[in-house]
Chain A
Amino acid sequence: MGKKTVARHYVPSARVQAQLAGAPPFGSQEFWERVALRDREHPDYFDAEVLVTALRAFLLHDDLDSAHRICVELLDRWKGYIYVQAWSWCSDSEEDRQDMRQEISTRLWAVLLNPAKSFWEANFYTALHDLCCDVGRKFERLRERECPLPSGYDEDGEPLDELPDVIDPQWQPTDELMVSEEERDRIRGVVTALPAPISQVLYLYYVKGWQIQSTDPSVMTISKALNVTDRTVKKRLALGRAMVRAKYEREETHE
């Protein structure tokens, strides 16, 4: 007892206060129309802080359907941010990213549905940013404990991201770079599981349709983006296709 940890009342910015002062009654048709606006420059746009204030008012009056609607709207606005945060803290493991998104969202709903956390009504972005960093640091600590191998290295300790540039002048691509639609789908299916230097060229060439090189210096090409020669790009493409084919055949044999 005696832990005085109650959140103080934080004062929202003048912009949010003005939006609140000019807001129609929470729950009215006009209110929902304004909630749905996504253009931040629109004069009727509501910042997230206004939505959180409305959420707390709905909760206080047991209007859970409206509260739920506000949460869905907040998620729709901020899901990209959560995705990016999970990515930037756990860029090399999809499983960790999913765990992190789950933890962020679980904590997010807990604090948003808690009217005592008034900071979320004053500065939503900072509150969400801090929450994501808190979860990210926790995952970082867990990973440091679990995995002594630095990220970016394979099981043999070889760096995954540092394939040498091709220096063999005699090397030529052994077959056509064009592939069938079926093979393109296969590439899409397994490309993220391949080492980064290979997956990047496969993605840029077969998914994004970038050119390997161009005579026009203003065009972004694969070799320019990755700062390697066009020969290297071609070799990685050929190697990547061989890896995709081998992986696919291995999976087919197992089935």
Chain B
Amino acid sequence: MSDPNTNREELQHILLAYVEGREHGIGPTLEELIERNPQYTQALLNFAMHYDLAAERAAKTTAVPAGQLEPDHSIERQTLEQAFTQLRNPPALTSLIGRAAQRGYDMAFLAEELELGTDVLMQLERRKITSESLPAQLLEGLGRLLAVSMQQLQRFFARPPSTGVPANAYAFARLDLMPGWRQQTFAEAVQASKMMTPEQQAKWLALADAPVDRSETE
């Protein structure tokens, strides 16, 4: 018995050859394709008929070069515009760990992917590290894993540090208002980490010497 998936893929390749021929004005003609693949005559004819007539309809509304007729692709364009509309209005990033959880990762896994200790990650989450000291590689890694832009990350790190307790719990809940408290640099946090291997620390300390260049993105 023939494998329907194999047949489907074979047919798809033949139909693609037809489409490429129509779109770029080069490639095999319908006659040639039928000659070479008589077992797919019915499927080829049905496809070519729908494709050509859809292309003719589309050509009536849009100016296309002769010999390059193709059907209307407004469905794909519409979904693209919808996706970008959402992208242009991204929600504010309020928590690195919360965002990771939305994407199905836990804190330990996020730390492992970034080759950081969870203690450093917690300090990043609470913005106890100065944003100026964060290496570009760290921001890029976070952006990739959390699917957020550099701008979203920079806005997140620009906000005041958090204690991790509700703001109304104590009058001195804001760390930056506590006497004598100061934010650490990323290098200090890495050096003080008890959960990173010496190799991980060495890697990040080397990178921490070259903090992110913000002139390009601001």
Chain A residues with a Cβ under 8 A of chain B: 1-6, 38, 56, 59-62, 64, 67-68, 71-72, 75, 79-85, 87-89, 91, 94, 98, 101-102, 105-106, 108-110, 113-116, 118, 161, 188, 191-192, 196, 199-200, 203-204, 207-208, 210, 220, 225-227
Contacts and interface: CB of A to CB of B under 8 A. Distances in A.
8 contacts: A75-B76, A79-B76, A84-B15, A101-B76, A105-B76, A115-B147, A220-B34, A226-B41
A115 B53 contact: no
A203 B42 CA distance: 13
B42 A196 contact: yes
B211 to A, nearest CB: 16
Contacts, number: 154
A80 B24 CA distance: 11
Interface stretch (B103-111, B123-131, B159-167, B174-182): B103-111
Nearest to A79: B73
Contacts of B31: 210, 220, 225
A109 B83 contact: yes
A84 B41 contact: no
Nearest to A9: B144
Contact of B104 (A3, A84, A115, A207): A3
Contacts of B53: 188, 191-192, 203, 207
Given A220-B34, A226-B41, A106 B79 contact: yes
B105 A6 contact: yes
B177 to A, nearest CB: 32
Question: Size class of B's contact patch?
Answer: 35 or more
B150 interface: yes
B23 interface: yes
Contact of A203 (B45, B83, B84): B45
Contacts of A115: 143-144, 147
A227 B79 CA distance: 42
A61 B104 contact: no
Contact of A4 (B19, B42, B109): B109
A60 B143 contact: yes
Nearest to B52: A207
Given A80-B20, A203-B49, A220-B35, A105 B80 contact: yes
B207 interface: no
Nearest to B73: A79
Contacts of B51: 83, 87
B75 A102 contact: yes
Contacts of A191: 49, 53
B79 A80 contact: no
B65 to A, nearest CB: 14
Given A60-B143, A79-B73, A83-B71, A161 B42 contact: yes
Nearest to A87: B47
A113 B71 CA distance: 26
Contacts of A3: 104-106
B109 to A, nearest CB: 5
Nearest to A98: B75
B89 to A, nearest CB: 11
A6 B103 CA distance: 8
Contacts of B16: 80-81, 84
Contacts of B11: 88
A188 B54 CA distance: 10
